[in-house]
Amino acid sequence: MNITKFCCCSENMCNVNFTDAYVPAEDIPPSTTELAPKKPLNSLFWIVAIVSFVFIMMIALGASYYIWKRKPKKNDVETGHQHPLPPPADYSLDKLKLLNVIEFIGQGRYGCVWRGLIDDQEVAVKVFAAHHRNYFLNEHEMYKLSGENSALLKCYGGGEYMMAPGGLTDYLLLLSLEQECLQEYLKNHTLDLVSLSKMSLGVAKGLAHLHTDLGKPCITHRDINSKNILVRADLTCCICDLGLAVVPRRAENKSISEAGTLRYMAPEVLEGAVNLRDCESALKQIDVYALGLVLWELGTRCSDMQNSEPPSYSPPFYKEAGENPTLEQMQTLVSRHKARPLWPPSWKDTAAARLLCETAEDCWDQDAEARLTSLCVVERLLELPSLKGRVLHSIHPPASPTPLINNNHLHDHQIDISVGTIETLLSPSEEH
C-alpha cells in the first residue's frame, strides 16, 4: 500500500484537522483463459506402423542371408574348399568275408598294406595287429569324420578280420588303391611346371580340407610327409594315413607333440614348446611346416625351375642328418641353428620359382604364428600355372633363393652334430 500524502491547502495549520479516508480496492477476480484441449495422438497407428516396419526389415534380412548362403563363394570355387560329402557306408562284415588278399605292398609304422579284391574291385587293405587296435580305431574314425574329398584317400570301411585260419584277429581298413607314394614317385621321375602345380595343389587342398570346420570338425594330420601322400595315375595327389590325426578340441595335451616323423617335425615340436593354450592353431601350424618341406621336395625335382637337370631326389636334411636322423640332430639343425633345406644352385629366377620358394619359406617360418594357413597356400599355388616362362628382371637375381625364414644369405660351415662325425650343416640365420 502507498502511504505517501500531499497537502493541497494554502492556509496556516491546515493539517490540524486531518482525516485519512481509506478506500479499499475492488476485488478483481483473476481472469482465467481456458485452453483448448489438444487433440490426442493416434498411438495405435504409430505402434502398428513401427511393428510393420520391423517385421518387413526382418523378412528382407532373412531373404538376403538365404541368398548369400546359397551363392557359392569365390574362394570356395577357386580353391576347391568344398563342403565334405557324407562318409561312405562301411562294408558289412559279410562283405569283409568276401575279401581276397592278393599281394603284399608295404610295411608302415603301425600296420602293413596289401592289395586285395572285394566284389571284383581292387582295394588297398591296411592291416593292423591286435595290439595296434587303438590306431585302427582312430584312423577309421578320422576317415569318417573328414568326409569324402578328392584330395583325401577314399576309405570304404573296416572291421575285424582273421588273415589266417585259426590266427589272431586283425583289424582292416579298406582304402582306394593308388599308384605309389610321392617319395617313390620323385625318386624315379622329374616334374614339369604343370605336374608340379597339380601335385602341390592336391596336397595343399587335402590339408586345407582337413583343417576346415565347415560341415565337419577340424582335423589335424600330425604326420605330413612325402610317404603319406599318394600319386594317382592322372598325377593328382591325395593325403593318406590318418592314424595320428586328431580333432584338436578333443586332443589330450600330454600327447599333442608326441607324433610325427622326425625329419618333418617343426621346431616347436622338437623343443617340446607347442602352444597348448591354442591347441587347434598350434597343430595346424605344425602341419603347415611339414607342407613347406613337401613343397621343397617337389620343387627340387622340377626341370622347368632349373637351368640344368634336377638333382637326384633326397628327403629334407638328408645330407646333414642321413637316412635315420636322431632327435638331437634335428634339434641342432632346425631349432638351435634355424636351418632349412637349400634350394638347388641351378634354380632359375622366374616368377614361378620365386612364388614356390617364398611359399615354402613362409610355411616353415621359425615363428609358428607367422606361417601361412593351408588355405592361403592353396590360393598361392593356384597362380603357378599362369607364371610359366615369366622371368624376373632384378638387378641382383639370386642364384639360389635363401632357404631361411628371415631371408638372410647362407654360408656353409662345419659343425659336429653327432658323436664321432662331422656333418655339413645348413647355415643358421642371424640371431634376432
| Domain range list for the chain | 93-176, 180-425
Backbone CA torsion sign across 267, 219, 374, 111: positive
**Do 219 and 283 touch, CB atoms closer than 8 A?**
no
- For residue 322, give the C-alpha cell: 642321413
Note the pLDDT of residue 168.
Answer: 62
Strands (E), 93-177: 100-107, 111-118, 121-128, 155-162, 169-176
For this structure, is 90 an active site residue? no
The domain 93-176 is placed in CATH, from the list 1.20.140.10, 3.30.360.10, 3.30.200.20, 3.40.50.12160, at 3.30.200.20
Bridge partners (DSSP) listed for residue 173: 126, 158
Note the pLDDT of residue 15.
Answer: 67
Which is catalytic among the residues 120, 170, 223, 365? 223
| CATH code of domain 180-425 | 1.10.510.10
Note the pLDDT of residue 414.
Answer: 36
Residues of the chain falling short of pLDDT 70: 1-10, 13-42, 66-95, 163-169, 252-258, 389-432
Contacts with 427 (C-beta within 8 Å, 6 or more apart), sequence order = 337, 339, 404, 410, 411, 412, 413
Is 126 a known ligand-binding residue? Answer: yes
Using left for φ > 0, alpha for ψ between -120 and 50, and beta otherwise, residue 390 falls in beta
